[in-house]
Structure 1
Amino acid sequence: MRAVIAAPHKIDWIEAPPTQLQSGEVLLKPLAIGVCGSDLHVYEGQHPFVRYPVFPGHEVAAQVVEVGSGVDPSWHGALVALEPSLTCGQCVPCRSGRYNICEQLRVMGFQAPGAMAEHFVSPVQNLHRLPQGFDVELGAMIEPLAVAVHAVALTPVQGKQVAVLGAGTIGLLVAQVARAYGAAGVVVVDVLEVRRRVAEGLGLVAKAPDTAKYEVIFECVGNEKAFEAAIQGARKGGTVVVVGVYGQPATLSAGLIQDWELTLKGSLMYTFSDFQEAIRLLAEQRVQAHPLITHRFALKQVQAAFAAALQRDQALKVLLLA
């Protein structure tokens, strides 16, 4: 059995044929799966890089229950986090170590079957072992934290004034990573008071949008209004990092990018080292992830989980638990 988004606004739990393990693959039982903003883009018909049906699930902690040929038997029974990138290994980005922008990139849960299932298959090379006794709910938060780690690593933040636009899961993780990496000040900006309160509960400064200026801005919303706010909020010579996923084209003040000599960067997903760093930050409690989990559902309650996640003024991270 697995979840399927057959078309926009249509998600079901269906019977699926068993998958035979190929060499280098393992069979996993998911223990905790996060519902991501990108999953909602798929559900709402706003994701630009998928074709239906889509089999979701990419934020996951799981246990290996069977290993295929060519896989070290020590993986059997291991508690792991899934890195869902499927790459070619041959293109220029892959050969330079930037496989997160592989020219043939597919992602489990989007262009390939994901983890919202009773069992799912993954190449063993996509797994990261978790420390013994690691909380499986935190295990499902490693993937979004790796997104944040990758974004913050793109530009130096130590000693700088940083703003994060958007107090969703990714924004709150980006803000915590920037703080852990020595930013002189981190401000989280969001229009929703309830989300600002969550940020404050994490020890972050939070406020509604205003006219303040920052050296580094992380845009973690993914819409035109936030993109323009990021440009307007950058100091001359500053940097804007685009982390939010855009379902629609956006217009922005290109003249200001030129005139203010702004640096504009995109951030996509992560690499192996970002996952390892995310595990370290959680294990050492440098980042708090539990306060971001607002809803929990049984694995087969996918419809209820997506309905809860769509209440963006109430939900942050929604988990499905086995």
Structure 2
Amino acid sequence: MRAVIPAPHVIQWSEADPPQPQHGEVLLEPLAIGVCGSDLHVYEGQHPFVRYPVFPGHEVAARVVEVGSGVDPAWRGALVALEPALTCGQCVPCRSGRYNICERLRVMGFQAPGALAERFVSPVQNLHRLPQGFDIELGAMVEPLAVAVHAVALTPVQGKRVAVLGAGTIGLLVAQVAKAYGAAQVVVVDLLEARRRAAEGLGLAAKAPDAAKYEVIFECVGNERALEAAIQGAHKGGTVVVVGVYGRPTTLSAGLVQDWELTLKGSLMYTFSDFQEAIRLLAQQRVLAQPLVTHRFALNEVQPAFAAALGRDKALKVLLLA
């Protein structure tokens, strides 16, 4: 059995042939799977880079239950976090180490079958061993934290005044990483009071949108208003990092980008080192992810889990647990 989104606003379990690991692959049992904003974009028909049916599940902690040919048997039984990017290894970005922007990128859970199933397969090279005693729920938070690590690593934040627009899971993780990396000030900006309170509960400053200016702004919402607010809120010579996923084309104040000499950067996913850094930050409690988990469901409760995640005023991270 595996979960499928056959069309917008529908998610259900479907029968599937038992997966078999091929050469270089392993068979995994999912233990914890997160539902994220990109999953909701697929569910709501707003993700620009998928075709239905979609088989979700990319924020994953799992156990290796079997190995295919060419895989070290020592992987059997390992607890791992999944790096879901499937890349060609041959294009210019891949050969330069930036395989997160592979020209033929596919992502498990979006363009390739994901982990929300009784069993799933993955290339062994996409696995990251979790340290002994690592909380399995935190294992499912490694992937979103790697997104945050990659975004913050794109521009220097040490000693800078930093704003994070959007206090969802990614925004709260980005803010914590920026703080851990020495930003002079980190402010989380969100319209919803409940989300501002969540930020404050993590020891972060939080406020509603205003006219303050910052040297670095991370846009973690994914809509045109937030992008415009990020540009308007940047100091001259500042940097705006676009982390949010956009479901439709947008307009922006290009005149300000030019006149203020702003740097506008996109941030997509992560690479191997970002995953390793995410595991380190969690293991050393430099970033707190457990407080972000607001809802827990059994693995087969995909419909109530997605319904809960759609309640963005109440839900941060929704987990499905085996």
Taking the aligned partners of 1:34 and 1:154, their CA distance within structure 2 comes to 25
2:155 counterpart residue number: 155
1:29 counterpart residue number: 29
Cα offset, 1:20, TM superposition: 2.3
Q: How many residues align?
A: 322
Equivalent residue letter for 2:58: H
2:12 counterpart residue number: 12
Is the partner of 2:33 in helix, strand or coil?
Answer: strand
Equivalent residue letter for 2:263: T
2:253 counterpart residue number: 253
Equivalent residue letter for 1:18: P
2:80 counterpart residue number: 80
- Alignment pair present for 1:95 and 2:80: no
Cα offset, 1:92, TM superposition: 0.1
Matches within 5 A, 1:98-177: 98-177=98-177
1:229-260: per-residue Cα shift (whole Å, max 9, x none)? 00000000000000000001111110000000
Is the partner of 2:191 in helix, strand or coil?
Answer: coil
Identity of aligned residues (%): 87
The answer to whether the 8 Å contact 2:20/2:27 transfers is: no
Equivalent residue letter for 1:123: P
1:292-318: per-residue Cα shift (whole Å, max 9, x none)? 000000000000000000000000000
2:307 counterpart residue number: 307
Taking the aligned partners of 2:239 and 2:82, their CA distance within structure 1 comes to 31
Taking the aligned partners of 1:19 and 1:303, their CA distance within structure 2 comes to 23
1:197-240: per-residue Cα shift (whole Å, max 9, x none)? 00001000000000000000000000000000000000000000
Taking the aligned partners of 1:44 and 1:284, their CA distance within structure 2 comes to 36
Is the partner of 2:6 in helix, strand or coil?
Answer: strand
| TM-score between the two structures when normalised by the length of structure 1 | 1.00
1:279 counterpart residue number: 279
Matches within 5 A, 1:49-64: 49-64=49-64
Structure 2: runs of 5 or more not aligned: none
Cα offset, 1:12, TM superposition: 0.3
The answer to whether the 8 Å contact 2:19/2:119 transfers is: no
1:71 counterpart residue number: 71
- Alignment pair present for 1:184 and 2:184: yes
Equivalent residue letter for 2:179: R
Cα offset, 1:14, TM superposition: 1.1
1:267 counterpart residue number: 267
Matches within 5 A, 1:215-234: 215-234=215-234
1:202 counterpart residue number: 202
Is the partner of 2:274 in helix, strand or coil?
Answer: helix
Is the partner of 1:7 in helix, strand or coil?
Answer: coil
Cα offset, 1:15, TM superposition: 1.1
Cα offset, 1:116, TM superposition: 0.3
Is the partner of 2:175 in helix, strand or coil?
Answer: helix
Equivalent residue letter for 1:62: A
Cα offset, 1:18, TM superposition: 1.5
2:294 counterpart residue number: 294
2:238 counterpart residue number: 238
Taking the aligned partners of 1:19 and 1:132, their CA distance within structure 2 comes to 28
Is the partner of 2:282 in helix, strand or coil?
Answer: helix
Equivalent residue letter for 2:66: E
Structure 1: runs of 5 or more not aligned: none
Cα offset, 1:133, TM superposition: 1.1
| TM-score between the two structures when normalised by the length of structure 2 | 1.00
Taking the aligned partners of 1:269 and 1:21, their CA distance within structure 2 comes to 25
Taking the aligned partners of 1:282 and 1:20, their CA distance within structure 2 comes to 32
Taking the aligned partners of 2:295 and 2:98, their CA distance within structure 1 comes to 34
The answer to whether the 8 Å contact 2:61/2:136 transfers is: yes
Equivalent residue letter for 1:157: V
Equivalent residue letter for 1:246: Y
Give structure 1 regions of 4+ aligned residues with deviation exceeding 2 angstroms: none
Equivalent residue letter for 2:29: K
Cα offset, 1:21, TM superposition: 1.6
Taking the aligned partners of 1:50 and 1:248, their CA distance within structure 2 comes to 13
Taking the aligned partners of 1:288 and 1:206, their CA distance within structure 2 comes to 16
